Amino acid sequence: MERDPRELGGAWRASQRHAFAAPTGELTRYVARYWTVTWDYEQPYRQLVVPLPNVHLSFREGRGELHGPSSSHVYRELSGVGTVFGVAFRPGMFRPFLDGSVAGLRDRIVDAATVFTGELPAPVGVESVERFLVGHLPTPDPQADLAARIVATIAEDIAVTRVDVLAQRFGLSVRGLQRLFAEYVGIGPKWVVRRYRLHEVTERLAEGVEIDWAVLAAELGYADQAHLSREFRTIFGEPPTRYAQRYEQG
């Protein structure tokens, strides 16, 4: 497929704006960040969205939607002028709001009313959304806190490459860790480990540094460079060298 030139070298920034805000008070336990995306496209743009193990609550044009964790990349078409306000929940911390396993939301978008009752916040903004969420705060769940802590460890520690070692570190069996992630994160621990290790690849591509792919593959726990490239393509939709063209190069 021929590339849209707006994908390359950060050109999308001419038509999109992204803003972020941090949660406050008791919501810091559950929410990772608030985000806003605005766009203005005369011609439709096919936006690549790469996955992370967060559940998102989004508001657009008077509608609220829940986006479960995605197991792979997806594309969203943006056209005309629009704005979306979103809530990214900390991985593991949306389960207390749900009457069921987060795995039931994986790769799905559902009406926010399936979880959140009452009128949606209006106008939508950080303050109104925080009031809305505080009105729906669940009972604290220690297992959710544990799941969130494990995911944070994966994200922060590049040395975490094996599920069995991770399980032992938290005093769990591999099967116990898998059950915890299915219930609270919605996607397996092996996927989460691989996703955050591949984040190291995108960070280096963004910096424009020269990469020794064989060395990097070994550092991130892959058998070889080909294995890393295949898994990168599965999650991000294209091989690392092609994906690198999305970044501005200094």
Which DSSP symbol is given to 237? Answer: S
Which of 23, 29, 28 minimizes the C-alpha distance to 127?
23
Q: Is the distance from CB of 199 to CB of 236 less than 8 angstroms? A: no
Domain with CATH 1.10.10.60 in the chain: 143-246
Strands (E), 124-201: none
pLDDT at residue 204 tops 60:
yes
pLDDT value of position 249: 65
pLDDT at 2 over 90: no
**Segment among 43-47, 151-155, 212-216, 244-248 with least mean pLDDT:** 244-248
Element (H, E) at 75: strand 74-89
Average pLDDT over residues 115-144: 95
The CATH superfamily holding the domain 143-246 is Homeodomain-like (1.10.10.60)
**Angle at 75 (CA atoms; ends 113, 162), nearest 5 degrees:** 90
Q: Which residue has the tokens 């009031």?
A: 131
| pLDDT above 60: residue 125 | yes
Token output for 81: 């002028």
Question: What confidence tens digit (pLDDT) does each residue in 27-58 have?
Answer: 999 999 999 999 999 999 999 999 999 999 99
Residue 136, token pair as written in the block: 């729906």
- For residue 9, pLDDT beyond 80: yes
Q: Would you say residue 24 has pLDDT above 70?
A: yes
Question: Both ends of the chain: CA-CA distance in Å?
Answer: 27
pTM above 0.85, yes or no: yes
Give the per-residue pLDDT at 250. Answer: 54
Q: Does residue 218 have a pLDDT over 80?
A: yes
